[in-house]
Structure 1
Amino acid sequence: MSVDIEVRGLPAERYVFRTSPLAELGYALHVLAEPGHHPGLHGWATATSSGLKPDLADRLREADFLWSPTFSDILTPFAGVPSRDGQPGATLAEDLDILDQLDDERFVGSALEFTCSASYGCGGPSPLVDADARQRALDMAAARGPRQEDFTRRLLTEPTVVRSWIRRLLEDCEQAFFADTWRRLETQLAADARHKTELLNHRGLAEALAAVSPALSLSENGGRIQADKLSEGRTTALDPAIGPGVTFVPTSMGWPHLLVLHAPSWRPVVHYPAATPEISRPPSVQDVQLRLEALAHPMRLQLARFLARATYTTGELAESVGMSAPEVSRHLATMKKAGLVTTRRRGRYVLHQLDLTVAARLGSDFLEGVLR
């Protein structure tokens, strides 16, 4: 399985390696919302969370669907603005100015990305103009609680007001903690981007991709970049409507995620980890055999990928993987017995999620695989 980017004939100058303050802020917020995804950053997450003012912490929870569990494409707005040529802003303020250039349909559709996981790669109507898409967005938000349902309803009803609210929230995050974090990370990330650019210019695309991540490769005919992931997708770097090119954005806080933006009519973007924190892996052998046997089935491995990123109902999982709900239930039962999946009830919904602490104990290769 892989996510492929068509690059046949793309000139070398159209491969861009750049840092993005907004993308890194998005990852920082993801770490705060999903610390289990990032065992090496527990100290930073604990210290930062404890220092947040109650009002800011509450607002972050209200909008956390933008960076948890998915990573919304609005956090890389330069990929959706044709005039940018794939270039992020030099500062967070510049990135936010680019975000303001996205039209409402593109902004809202990307902000509600969690509602279209099954159709992400093929596009679909905007919930601002399509009644079915709107109802689906509200239904999926409702499954995640009244707070998210209310926010989604306001976003669909008053997108301009909510967009201003989101910008102010991100600006307040910069003032509260991210400015110091970005000063610490910017030099390292910029150096990594320069190094990868030099590799591209002097040794070619294949070697540059290998340096970016062992999960990236160039197809035998040189026409596709292939990202080895537990998902499938396809896009092109040759779309004249958005402008040809691929942008590579290094991240320090995003490890172990390797994310590929492959939405239709957006420029492809590869977010790659520029550093690898150490994972704490306490020895645990009592249930290893049971867990490995549970994950040996390809469908349960696919379910683990979904459940590592978000809570899902059985029906949502069935729709996402193309199986019946009873079949999914049987696989979930096996994974629960192995201690891999936790379940909680929210109103009339039963939500399932992968236990990332258990996943980390199975090893970094597995954790990276399901979170890639």
Structure 2
Amino acid sequence: MSVLLRLHGVRPAEVTARCSVVAELMACLHVLAEPEHHPDRTAWARRVIADLPAPAAADCVALAPLWARFRTRLLLPLESGGAGDLDAELGRISELDLGEFVQMAGMAVFGLRQNFRWPLDDAASAQEFVRACAERSTRRGVLAAELVADPERLRGRLIGLLLGASETFFGALWQRVRPSLERSAERVGASLRTEPLPLVIGSLAANSVIDVAEHTVEFSKLQQSAVSVRGRGLVLVPSHFGRPHLLVKDDKVKGRPPQLQPPVVVQYPAEQHGPRGADTLDKIRERLLVLTDAGRLEICRHLINEQCTTTELAWRTGMTQPQVSRHLRRLREVGLVESARHGRTVQHRIQTSRLYGIGYDLVAGIVG
């Protein structure tokens, strides 16, 4: 599966490379919500969470679906220009039409855009939306119910958390990382003025497939879509805490005319970093053998971004639940998957640090 960016006919003025303080804050919150997904940030995440006031820590957990795998469009640039400080960016969220806020938040709460089919201004549809979110996880169901019941309160709660995060840990962090992000944006901006657009966009990720003749760039992602940038604008946002992810967001707002749609956003890692591990060659060999099975590899691709139930994995992969259960058991046996009960469901998650560590440990074992 992949995301195809169609760049034919895109004018240079339609593409901008710039920093976004609220986008970087969302990247930090993503790490706090899934520290094992970012093994090089685990110690940092634990320190931050431990130092947060209890209400803020609770909100970080409760609102986590907004910055999980399907991160909300609310916390990415809503327009091509207008970079500014945190207050300015939060002001744009505060002033956003309430119906548009509900739509953007609802898509992230459910977390699977291709199946978001509920007009939340209809009572029966909203109730079905809450039920569908609860089937995905208890936390999503609770947040969906709050969004439906009082969206303005949820907006205030979200903005309050973001302001609190800035005061407790992110403000000082932003001052440290902002210069390097600005340099990254400047480098990309300079390339946009001198190089073909597909080459510049493709250089943002190692897994891209560039077709200069067709003016397309393809990124390997756990979704299938084709995005036409022409007429919408494209904002390239560097991220320090977003690595190793490259995020493509092309959400459209229902009811807006084409010329007023938010721009396509690509948030890319401003630098690369490789985690370390410490497993034996025998354990690495065992894990590599387990991952040679295409079904297990597909399950790992889905679990790399978020926790899932056996039922959801079966639906996503097209396997039967017994097949998924057998694959999960084998992945647990080699320490690549962990399963835990949350409310009425059993959620499975990848042990990301062990998965990332396979390459490093293999080379270290050979050299040693």
Q: Secondary structure at the match of 1:9?
A: coil
Amino acid at match of 1:185: V
Distance 1:167 1:188, change over 3 A: same
- The two structures have a TM-score, normalised by structure 1, of 0.85
Alignment partners' CA distance in 2, 1:253 and 1:341: 24
Q: Which residue of 1 aligns with 2:184?
A: 192
For the pair 1:30 / 2:30, whether they are aligned, the reply is yes
Amino acid at match of 2:39: P
Which range moves more in the overlay, 217-226 or 153-162?
A: 217-226
Asked whether the 8 Å contact 1:200–1:207 carries over to 2, the reply is no
Q: C-alpha displacement at 1:211, in angstroms? A: 3.4
For the pair 1:330 / 2:330, whether they are aligned, the reply is no
Paired residues, number: 353
Q: Which residue of 2 aligns with 1:179?
A: 171
Distance 1:100 1:320, change over 3 A: farther
Q: Which residue of 2 aligns with 1:369?
A: none
Amino acid at match of 1:289: R
* Alignment equivalent of 1:126, drawn from 119, 124, 141: 119
Alignment partners' CA distance in 2, 1:339 and 1:315: 21
For the pair 1:153 / 2:145, whether they are aligned, the reply is yes
CA deviation profile, 1:186-224 (whole Å, cap 9, x unmatched):
111011101111011112223323432222343243332
* Alignment equivalent of 1:249, drawn from 237, 242, 246: 237
- Structure 1 segments unaligned to the other structure (5+ residues): 79-83, 366-372
RMSD: 2.5
Alignment partners' CA distance in 1, 2:360 and 2:126: 37
Distance 1:103 1:175, change over 3 A: same
Q: Which residue of 1 aligns with 2:59?
A: 59
Which range moves more in the overlay, 58-67 or 287-296?
A: 287-296
Distance 1:352 1:298, change over 3 A: same
CA deviation profile, 1:111-155 (whole Å, cap 9, x unmatched):
23356555x25763333437346424434336533x553332111
Distance 1:148 1:103, change over 3 A: same
Q: Which residue of 2 aligns with 1:4?
A: 4
Distance 1:230 1:150, change over 3 A: closer
Q: Which residue of 1 aligns with 2:364?
A: none
Alignment partners' CA distance in 1, 2:167 and 2:206: 36
Amino acid at match of 2:96: L
Distance 1:122 1:54, change over 3 A: closer
Q: C-alpha displacement at 1:184, in angstroms? A: 0.8
Q: Which residue of 1 aligns with 2:201?
A: 209
- Structure 2 counterparts to residues 340-359 of structure 1, below 5 A: 340-359=336-355
Distance 1:311 1:344, change over 3 A: same
Q: Which residue of 2 aligns with 1:321?
A: 317
Q: Which residue of 2 aligns with 1:81?
A: none
Distance 1:329 1:131, change over 3 A: farther
Q: C-alpha displacement at 1:17, in angstroms? A: 0.6
Amino acid at match of 1:246: L
CA deviation profile, 1:203-259 (whole Å, cap 9, x unmatched):
222332343222234324333221133442222213xxxx52211110001111111
Alignment partners' CA distance in 2, 1:102 and 1:330: 47
Q: Secondary structure at the match of 1:311?
A: coil
Q: C-alpha displacement at 1:364, in angstroms? A: 7.1
- Structure 2 segments unaligned to the other structure (5+ residues): 254-261, 362-368
Distance 1:117 1:150, change over 3 A: closer
* Alignment equivalent of 1:268, drawn from 264, 271, 274: 264
Q: C-alpha displacement at 1:278, in angstroms? A: 4.1
Q: Secondary structure at the match of 1:280?
A: coil
Alignment partners' CA distance in 1, 2:106 and 2:293: 31
Distance 1:138 1:123, change over 3 A: closer
Q: Report sequence identity in percent.
A: 28
Which range moves more in the overlay, 243-252 or 101-110?
A: 101-110
Q: C-alpha displacement at 1:270, in angstroms? A: 0.9
Amino acid at match of 1:158: D
Alignment partners' CA distance in 2, 1:188 and 1:234: 31
Alignment partners' CA distance in 2, 1:122 and 1:235: 18
Which range moves more in the overlay, 49-58 or 179-188?
A: 49-58
Distance 1:275 1:324, change over 3 A: same
* Alignment equivalent of 1:108, drawn from 102, 105, 111: 102
Distance 1:130 1:288, change over 3 A: farther
Q: Which residue of 1 aligns with 2:91?
A: 97
Distance 1:121 1:7, change over 3 A: farther
Amino acid at match of 2:191: L
Which range moves more in the overlay, 15-24 or 350-359?
A: 350-359
Q: Which residue of 1 aligns with 2:258?
A: none
Distance 1:95 1:137, change over 3 A: same
Asked whether the 8 Å contact 1:24–1:254 carries over to 2, the reply is yes
